Structure formats: C-alpha cells, structure tokens
C-alpha cells in the first residue's frame, strides 16, 4: 500500500507539472478564429514550439501572462499563453502536441466546416455576445462593439445590470481593466424599466471607452458590481458579481506613414478661423486658430497642426487647448491651436495647405482632412515726408531776426521771409528755396547798409 501511495503521489505531481492545452471551440466555420490556451508550471522562460501547429493553422495573435504562486513552501510560477488561430483549410484538423520545455500537450481535434460565402465585413461591427452572469436574481452582462480593431481605435465596453425592483439597486461598480490600456467612462448610467414573467425589473446600463495601442490579443478583466445582501432583513455580507469574460485583438495598422501619428476614426474635421483685414502692411500681425475634431479618439494622441516656420513671417504658438465630450455614445476629441503671424516682407505671401492624414474606420480607407492654401498681399509701409526744409527756414528767420534787431526793415523782411517760407513749403523745391533765401539776405544787407549810410549823413 505504501508503494502504491508513493507511486500515485509521483504520478499526481507529474500531472500537475504537465503542460495543458485547451480551445474555446472544437467546431468552427472556415474563416472563424479559434482561441488556444496553453498553461505550464515548468516553462522556465521557454516558449511553446509552434512549428507543427503552423502547418495547419495561422497564428494571428498571441499574449502571455505569468502568475507566481506558492507550492509546497516553494515559490513557483504558472505561465499562460493565449493564441488566436485561423484554420488554413476546412475539414477535420488536429492541433498537434505542443512542446514547452520538454513537456508536451495532448493533441486536440478540430472540425472546420466550409462556408459557401465569406463573412460580411460589417459583421466585425456587431456586438460580441457573452454569456451573462446570473446570481441573487441579478443578471450581469458585458458586451463590446468589436472584437478586432486598429491601434488607438475606440472599443466600447457596455455593462448592463438587470435586477428586480425590490432590490435597492445601490451598486458599487468596478470598471473593466486591461494592463497598458486607457479606460474612460463614456456617460453616466442610464436606467430603464421592463418586466420578466410579470415581475418589474430595472436595467442599468453603463459604457466605457477602451484605447489600446500595442498589437496583441487582449483578455479583459471584467467589470464587477458589489452590493450588500440584505435578504434576511439584517445587514448582510458584501456580494461581488463579475461580468462575463471578453477578449479582443489589436491588429496592425492598415497603412504605414512617416508622420508619427495614426488616427483611426469615423469622422475627422479640420477648420481654421481668423479675421483678415482689408490691407496688410509689413509689421502687422494676424491671429489664426486651427481646430481639429475627431470622433472616437483619445484627445492625447491628436497631433500638432500648425506650421511654425515661414520665410516671410514670424510665427509663434500662442496657445494649445484640448477638450473631450460625449456625443451619441462616443468620445469627441477637439484640439485647438492659436498662432500669431507677423509679416516681415512685402509681396504675395503664401500660406501652405494643412493636411491631417487619418483612417476612416467606417469604410476602411485612408482619408485626408485639409485646409486649402491661402495667399495674402502684404504692402510696404508708406514713405516718411521730407522734414529737412522747415528747420532751415526757421533757423534762417531766427538768424535774420537777431541780425536786424532795431532795423526799420525788420518787420517787412520777416513778413517776406514768412511768406517765402510758406510758399516754399507749398510749391518750391529745396534748391529754389535756398536761392530765394540768398536773395533776401543780399537785399537785407543792402538795405541795412543804406540805412547806416543815411543815418551817418544826417548826423554830420
């Protein structure tokens, strides 16, 4: 008996250390994906050998999870692999024994049924069903709007809780969780009334937006509700109900570009606003606001739109603002950029077009949101008037006033100089005005000399 017990112990320990494999379905239609799960307690960093598997199935997605645990007072680690397989043909297929660090799984037989027509591309947009969780007369169910999407594309996770009206409905909701993903609530919960077998019930619905960037296969840690069970009329224990498990796949980008961003959306719009004056002069500044609106995108990935260099102007980024709102059950992201443009050269100034490349997820095609190029006429500043004539005349008048102080001809000559000055301002050129001043000066000298001569003669 002791030998039998030891033998069974050895066999059981060997079975526990063996590699296990399972699938989510053993019968599938051609073109339908199959999920293969492999677990091992003794991987030691080794990966499954899929050489034989790839002869019959195409591996289109995979992920790996490691979970440490304590066994016989020793720390061990269980490794889980999840593979998304697509059969290469129809018929009776076999997932072969897969080797992981010297241990092999058991073969699994799969029946793949041929289909007459290919799957409609729009089927990817249908809600992926999941088996609801029912407990305490409460139905908890989660659904997602897609099971395959692009990096940064929005995944809508909807949690519904169906409970009888006699329940308090005071639930604490724990959102779903995915490592490395961004999860945002889409809206406040909504409530609706209905009946099941003449009993009044309430349906509570709440949605979350999930954004994942890395290409991989993802298992969603389901959302959960917590409530206090008060069926016995006393303060009951805390009850937690988790929703059904769901998974999805992030595929590679539909096209590659060197722009540094990838925008999968159902609608993107690009506009600009500014007030263009009737005339633009060198040195003037204009303010331009550029706005990008995108449906179903996380606002943090919207790119820079403004061009900040131009040979005929100085451009400064004054302000950047972002906002997100909920419209029609999805996120609408908006990015605004305000720039100032100061013109430094005269002539025709061309503003280049603005293009934002994006991927339309509704029609699965590349699109470009654009603002057309603009041309502006910038004029040179007006020339400054010649201000050198007036000081010359003023100085001459002042000099004449000092030289002819006490002379009888001073008033007449000053008046004549003033008249000449006003005439010179209106129609005489600088050369003509200087000649006139010289003549007036000679007349002044002659008249002064005559006055001195006559006054001396009278004294004699």
Average pLDDT for runs of 10 along the chain of length 460: 44 55 88 86 84 88 71 72 86 92 91 62 44 85 93 94 81 88 88 87 93 91 85 69 92 81 94 87 92 94 90 92 89 94 92 92 92 91 61 43 44 46 52 80 81 71
**Residue 303 vs residues 292, 297, 386: alpha-carbon distances, Å:** 9, 12, 52
Task: Give the pLDDT confidence of 191-229 residue by residue, as tens digits.
Answer: 999 888 888 999 999 999 999 988 998 999 999 998 887
Tokens encoding 180 = 């490395």
pLDDT of residue 412: 47
pLDDT of residue 210: 95
Class of domain 124-250 (CATH, top level): mainly beta
Cβ-contact 259, 357 below 8 angstroms: yes
CA 357/CA 283 separation, integer angstroms: 34
**β-strand partners of 290:** 272, 337
Of 3.30.70.260, 1.10.630.10, 2.60.40.10, 3.60.15.10, which CATH number belongs to 16-119?
A: 2.60.40.10
Domain 264-379 has CATH 1.10.1660: no
pLDDT of residue 307: 87
**β-strand partners of 242:** 224
CA atoms within 13 Å, Cβ hemisphere of 68: 3
Of 372, 297, 361, residue with least CA distance to 334: 297
């Amino acid at each position: 008996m002791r030998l039998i017990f030891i033998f069974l112990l050895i066999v059981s320990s060997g079975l526990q250390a063996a590699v296990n494999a399972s699938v989510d379905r053993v019968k599938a239609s051609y073109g339908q994906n199959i999920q293969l799960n492999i677990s091992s307690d003794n991987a030691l960093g080794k990966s499954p050998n899929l050489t034989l598997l790839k002869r019959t199935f195409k591996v289109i997605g995979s992920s790996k999870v490691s979970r440490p645990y304590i066994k016989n007072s020793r720390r061990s680690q269980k490794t889980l692999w999840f593979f998304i397989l697509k059969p290469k043909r129809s018929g009776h297929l076999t997932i072969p024994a897969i080797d992981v660090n010297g241990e092999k799984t058991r073969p699994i037989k799969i029946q793949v049924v041929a289909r007459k027509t290919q799957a409609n591309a729009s089927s990817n947009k249908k809600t992926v069903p999941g088996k609801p969780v029912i407990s305490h007369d409460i139905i908890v169910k989660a659904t997602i709007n897609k099971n395959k999407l692009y990096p940064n594309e929005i995944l809508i996770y909807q949690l519904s809780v169906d409970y009888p009206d006699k329940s308090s409905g005071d639930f604490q909701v724990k959102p779903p969780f995915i490592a490395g993903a961004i999860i945002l609530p889409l809206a406040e919960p909504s409530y609706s009334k209905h009946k099941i077998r003449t009993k009044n019930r309430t349906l509570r619905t709440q949605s979350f937006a999930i954004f994942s960037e890395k290409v991989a296969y993802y298992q969603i840690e389901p959302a959960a509700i917590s409530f206090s069970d008060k069926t016995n009329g006393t303060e009951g224990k805390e009850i937690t109900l988790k929703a059904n498990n769901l998974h999805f796949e992030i595929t590679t980008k539909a096209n590659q570009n060197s722009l540094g961003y990838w925008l999968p959306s159902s609608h993107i719009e690009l506009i600009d606003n500014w007030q263009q004056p009737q005339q633009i002069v060198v040195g003037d500044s204009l303010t331009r606001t550029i706005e990008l609106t995108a449906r179903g995108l996380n606002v943090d990935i919207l790119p820079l739109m403004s061009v900040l260099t131009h040979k005929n102007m100085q451009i400064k980024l004054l302000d950047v603002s972002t906002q997100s709102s909920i419209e029609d059950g999805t996120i609408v992201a908006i990015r605004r950029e305000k720039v100032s443009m100061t013109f430094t050269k005269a002539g025709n100034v061309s503003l280049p077009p603005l293009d934002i490349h994006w991927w339309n997820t509704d029609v699965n095609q590349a699109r470009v949101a654009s603002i057309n190029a603009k041309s502006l006429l910038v004029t040179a500043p007006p020339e400054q008037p010649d201000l050198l004539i007036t000081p010359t005349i003023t100085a001459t008048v002042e000099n004449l006033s000092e030289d002819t102080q006490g002379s009888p001809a001073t008033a007449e000559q000053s008046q004549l100089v003033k008249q000449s000055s006003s005439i010179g301002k209106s129609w005489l050129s600088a050369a003509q005005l200087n000649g006139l001043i010289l003549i007036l000066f000679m007349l002044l000298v002659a008249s002064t000399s005559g006055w001195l001569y006559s006054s001396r003669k009278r004294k004699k």
